[in-house]
Structure 1
């Protein structure tokens, strides 16, 4: 009987590129715990942290080929191969993190062309993680004006940083998980980061100034499963996994907002409080213009994989408007009575 029970158990080998701390780690653990609980232990997750199974830039290929069964893919590190995911990593329009996640979720689960692309890549979409609005964290004097950008060493962690390359900054390519070491050693001076993440990783201890970039929330991080693995699950187990993906948006969204508010307090008034800087309105307008080359490059990447970037962008922005309306009329799920 023990042998039969062991044989019936399905173990999903999962990979998370980040450390086992912070709100996304809580959400990753939530997914794993809920899968085990709701399947009655028939399916469980063997979770690897810190990219132990495969590194960030290998996530797409590793999940497609079955090196891992489940894990997080970050759009910035698969921009040319998986531009659909990177779309939510562009500076398009300001939206609440929960809204961004709902819009991405609906797009990935209803758009037929995107479903066909996922089949081609042998992936099953599970859920999405959003980021709070990006801030520019710097050691030393930092970015007090766009005139400070030329020659400054920026950690190039995603499309948002492309703006500073357009303005003459020195971009040093690295995953966001390496920024602490990069800033500690002087390899980089500045990095786009997020309040909750800066505090969770103790990056704030190295930071002297934070410049408000007026960036919107990004949602180009997704949890995916190898499709062959997903199809080996029973129909009931498949539906459980899908429902957990839907539930994760609310679970993570509430914790993200709470953690970000708390982190901003730490950055403002904590032992390692930093100086906050704002740019001029004209400089913010210039940054919006500087984001256009990244959007055009994304459209070219979409065309290269046979997708209509303009059409998908239009659909996505309509979904952002739809879910913004839901939030404004019904409130956020955790605030509803």
Structure 2
């Protein structure tokens, strides 16, 4: 009897569960990567730490993600820097059109940048902490009607553009339309926009190929300014071992996602060119001279970012220089050693 009482008095094991708000749907390579992250946290913690992903903007929309995670609407969530140009200026650096089209290189550089002391301190003031980065790969244009074959074709088109990329489309004569990527399907379908700034596998996951006629590869920068963040109070409530697991999975996520994005991007291009459910789209590549013009057009915006960062207490020019150095570092590592999953 005593043995029974003793056993029944032992409290049941209760895992810590973190709610995760995701504005996007549960499909595509990024969604699968998010599920991998949650599964790895569960596995490596021995079930002690779990992540409950709430999909499709049920907890908050993309344009409310920063304040929602900061105030505890969710413990964690995906934040897209371009929706918060002032508050997330530290992260928006990684969305600028630097001369890099390699997702893995961009992810590694972005991760190191966001884990730096100055950025960590800046985020802490907003009750946020960085966990890891996503990438939606290099920027493309999905268009309905006339395709974009050169920079001259951009003039006069109604384009959904985001961040500096969108501003440069505007500089080239496009009529910019403010719209979430999650609304681009309807925008293309009803003619509100002619083209949408997109990303290969992400655009396929969002089914933009169903309403677009062409895809233009721009060979212009990589988009890594969206990532996983955690409410600083929620992070403080975790045990040291739970925090260690979160940190380790966040670091390993970079290699996992980098490999998957490259594989899925290649598969997406092939699938859309071959035809999905009988619908093919035309694939175009911008001439290299035009791509170089786009990269050059981004330099004034990079300089402007440095000035704006300095206004909020960050060392703007130093951060730009450090980020360029990180891109060079990981490009060299790839060239010398190959990608981690091939070593």
**TM-score in terms of structure 1 length:** 0.93
Q: Give the secondary-structure state (helix, strand or coil) at the position aligned to 1:118.
A: helix
Give, in whole Å, the separation in 2 of the partners of 1:226 and 1:282: 44
Q: Which residue of 2 aligns with 1:159?
A: 164
Give, in whole Å, the separation in 2 of the partners of 1:59 and 1:266: 32
- State the 1:280 CA deviation: 4.3
Pair 262,282 (structure 1): closer, same or farther in 2 beyond 3 Å: closer
- State the 1:231 CA deviation: 1.0
Whether the aligned pair in 1 keeps the contact of 2:220 and 2:295 (CA below 8 Å) is no
Give, in whole Å, the separation in 2 of the partners of 1:288 and 1:164: 12
Name stretches of at least 5 consecutive residues in structure 1 with no aligned partner. none
Q: What RMSD over aligned residues (CA atoms) do the two structures have, in Å?
A: 1.9
- State the 1:313 CA deviation: 0.6
Give, in whole Å, the separation in 2 of the partners of 1:322 and 1:39: 32
Q: Which residue of 2 aligns with 1:169?
A: 174
- State the 1:3 CA deviation: 9.4
- State the 1:279 CA deviation: 4.0
Alignment match of 2:12 (pick from 5, 24, 49):
5
Alignment match of 1:150 (pick from 143, 151, 155):
155
Whether the aligned pair in 2 keeps the contact of 1:138 and 1:190 (CA below 8 Å) is yes
Whether the aligned pair in 2 keeps the contact of 1:94 and 1:215 (CA below 8 Å) is yes
Are 2:49 and 1:43 equivalent residues in the alignment?
Answer: yes
Q: Which residue of 1 aligns with 2:218?
A: 213
How many positions carry a matched residue from both structures? 334
Q: Which residue of 1 aligns with 2:4?
A: none
Q: Which residue of 2 aligns with 1:93?
A: 99
Q: Which residue of 2 aligns with 1:105?
A: 111
Whether the aligned pair in 1 keeps the contact of 2:147 and 2:213 (CA below 8 Å) is yes
Alignment match of 2:274 (pick from 269, 274, 284):
269
Q: Give the secondary-structure state (helix, strand or coil) at the position aligned to 1:73.
A: strand
Give, in whole Å, the separation in 2 of the partners of 1:81 and 1:264: 35
- State the 1:247 CA deviation: 1.3
Give, in whole Å, the separation in 1 of the partners of 2:251 and 2:227: 12
**TM-score in terms of structure 2 length:** 0.91
Whether the aligned pair in 1 keeps the contact of 2:98 and 2:222 (CA below 8 Å) is no
Give, in whole Å, the separation in 2 of the partners of 1:248 and 1:333: 12
Give, in whole Å, the separation in 1 of the partners of 2:69 and 2:179: 21
Pair 163,225 (structure 1): closer, same or farther in 2 beyond 3 Å: same
- State the 1:281 CA deviation: 4.8
Name stretches of at least 5 consecutive residues in structure 2 with no aligned partner. 1-7
- State the 1:287 CA deviation: 2.6
- State the 1:180 CA deviation: 0.8
Q: Which residue of 1 aligns with 2:37?
A: 31
Q: Which residue of 1 aligns with 2:64?
A: 58
Alignment match of 1:258 (pick from 263, 280, 283):
263
Give, in whole Å, the separation in 2 of the partners of 1:63 and 1:86: 18
Give, in whole Å, the separation in 1 of the partners of 2:9 and 2:301: 56
Whether the aligned pair in 2 keeps the contact of 1:95 and 1:324 (CA below 8 Å) is no
Q: Which residue of 2 aligns with 1:310?
A: 317
Pair 284,254 (structure 1): closer, same or farther in 2 beyond 3 Å: closer
- Which stretch shifts more, 294-303 or 10-19? 294-303
Whether the aligned pair in 1 keeps the contact of 2:204 and 2:268 (CA below 8 Å) is yes
- State the 1:232 CA deviation: 0.5
Whether the aligned pair in 2 keeps the contact of 1:299 and 1:309 (CA below 8 Å) is yes
Alignment match of 1:69 (pick from 72, 75, 83):
75
Larger Rg: 2
- State the 1:50 CA deviation: 1.4
Q: Which residue of 2 aligns with 1:298?
A: 305
Alignment match of 1:19 (pick from 17, 21, 25):
25
Give, in whole Å, the separation in 2 of the partners of 1:250 and 1:282: 31
- State the 1:157 CA deviation: 2.9
Q: Give the secondary-structure state (helix, strand or coil) at the position aligned to 2:248.
A: helix
Give, in whole Å, the separation in 2 of the partners of 1:200 and 1:332: 25
